[in-house]
Structure 1
């Protein structure tokens, strides 16, 4: 087997790990840790990275080797994989916006490979979804119904492909690739299978009145701030973001959701809106993709789940979007610039995305990093 072939196989393994197979990712971390502890030099790793870059997968390498690049020690890689082992929020009860409790799923029964003959998930699709709004799929009551959908493909204007890998469809119904959740149906989600979202992480440096960057006294690193909104549906702080509309480009979703939720662009006067949109467009020309894949979201079920693309847009000097007064709008009830640290408690997998952003910007996270 050639070196190139080996590297390609390694890439595929890493891709699967990043997209939900977190136990495998932890194993990769452990192997790399052993390599470092044995004082093995890095030429081979560098060669592998070069070949992987040629495979157009720099993002995966940057995530996997972020500990090496920014900290020089592999222990931070395992800390980065905050969605370790199994999803947890996707098994929480009661289900959002309802009094319905899921079937309890123990950690060791989450993976579909774990035998569980008596598994009997609760069936639930929210009335608002069953009502048949334009953004929701029709119910699947038989395998014939499922033939209406092109799962794992672009289905007209609807993207039914996962960011991770192909998902299975036993009985013609998509199965959550991250395992059991204790609930069948779609819950609050409109689409069978992956429901795609986009999350813009807009950041600036925290500064004093003189404009000087503020350093955290424990880590000595500059404090990064991000635009945080409080969701109306749950009252939980989160990254502004939303669903990718059918046929919509992710780049459009990112700008639209940030403007609507953090700047209330829907209700501001036309002249001010145009100026705001111009500033957003300029900042959003260049972004760093923080994450692409499955989200541990409390709305997930066995048959419908959230996936997202999270992108960081950084206002280095704080003179564009960083100077705006934030005003909550649309699905948000509040908005503010929040300091980034390990003390954050955010919606779904958003803490993980913010952590990766802090690492990328070499900003404060906690006293150890």
Structure 2
């Protein structure tokens, strides 16, 4: 039986020698997962439960990725929030997507949950709502504070940065509008546009006709929104 030999894909700025000089403001200082001292607390707070191996190190709940090391801000789970803003109904329904600046694909507006998103009451649903509405404002200029947010689920997403020891879990919420509103790409979004959303096939066909690709990690999130809307 061949041994499992994952490739270390740690970003250059997160290598131990780089962290000794400078810790990026978006990352924790621990150079390796065994330098983290609060794994039980991180497990308890996780969106998706994860286990520790025999050495006390985190295991990606989605299974092996073929990679090790870190390309994300922290070891273990990196909690994120994604906004699924939908306008209209039926065949005329549309969804707001951005083009991600890092990998150039169409995706839902979203990003990592920040300390400022957390509430004094430590309400996880309100934290998610705060985070996804903030990301929506920052990436599209659309301010939907005051609108109802329906949190559809929480899951590990197939993010390109995931490794065996560091991964993204997203909580995603649906916001419904009667009609589209102006949107413009900002922050780490190249653009922000409304797309046909009667079905996932229709959405992907419209994107393909414009030379674009839907971020595969967000397909399940968008399908969950469609399933909810069909109820």
| TM-score, scaled relative to structure 1 | 0.51
The 1-side partners of 2:150 and 2:130 are apart by: 16
Among candidates 168, 175, 182, match of residue 325 of structure 1: 182
Which runs of structure 2 are paired with 1:348-363 in the superposition (5 Å)?
348-362=216-230
The 2-side partners of 1:190 and 1:361 are apart by: 34
2:105 equivalent in structure 1: 236
Among candidates 120, 125, 130, match of residue 10 of structure 2: 125
Query: Counterpart of 1:222 in 2: which secondary structure?
Result: helix
Count the aligned residue pairs. 205
Summarize deviations over 1:206-263 as a string: whole Å, max 9, x none: xxxxxxx6xxxxxxx5342111000011110000001001363222211111011112
The 2-side partners of 1:142 and 1:339 are apart by: 43
The 2-side partners of 1:255 and 1:299 are apart by: 23
Among candidates 179, 185, 195, match of residue 78 of structure 2: 195
The 2-side partners of 1:226 and 1:128 are apart by: 35
- Superposition deviation, residue 161 in structure 1: 3.0
Among candidates 188, 194, 197, match of residue 337 of structure 1: 194
- Superposition deviation, residue 325 in structure 1: 1.5
The 1-side partners of 2:183 and 2:132 are apart by: 17
Q: Mark the CA change 1:141 to 1:242 in structure 2 (over 3 Å): closer, same or farther.
A: closer
- Superposition deviation, residue 117 in structure 1: 5.5
Among candidates 156, 159, 162, match of residue 294 of structure 1: 156
Q: Does 1:153 align with 2:54?
A: no
Which runs of structure 2 are paired with 1:89-100 in the superposition (5 Å)?
none
The 2-side partners of 1:169 and 1:137 are apart by: 21
Query: Counterpart of 2:137 in 1: which secondary structure?
Result: helix
Contact 2:33 2:165 in 1 (8 A): no
- Superposition deviation, residue 362 in structure 1: 2.2
The 2-side partners of 1:255 and 1:142 are apart by: 31
Q: Mark the CA change 1:138 to 1:171 in structure 2 (over 3 Å): closer, same or farther.
A: farther
1:260 equivalent in structure 2: 138
- Superposition deviation, residue 357 in structure 1: 1.1
The 2-side partners of 1:348 and 1:139 are apart by: 30
Contact 2:78 2:112 in 1 (8 A): yes
Q: Does 1:174 align with 2:58?
A: yes
- Higher percent of residues as strand: 2
The 2-side partners of 1:179 and 1:199 are apart by: 22
Contact 1:195 1:305 in 2 (8 A): yes
* Higher RCO (CA < 8 A, seq sep 6+): 2
The 2-side partners of 1:174 and 1:253 are apart by: 25
| TM-score, scaled relative to structure 2 | 0.80
Query: Counterpart of 1:326 in 2: which secondary structure?
Result: coil
- Superposition deviation, residue 191 in structure 1: 0.8
Contact 2:63 2:164 in 1 (8 A): yes
- Superposition deviation, residue 171 in structure 1: 2.3
- Superposition deviation, residue 160 in structure 1: 7.0
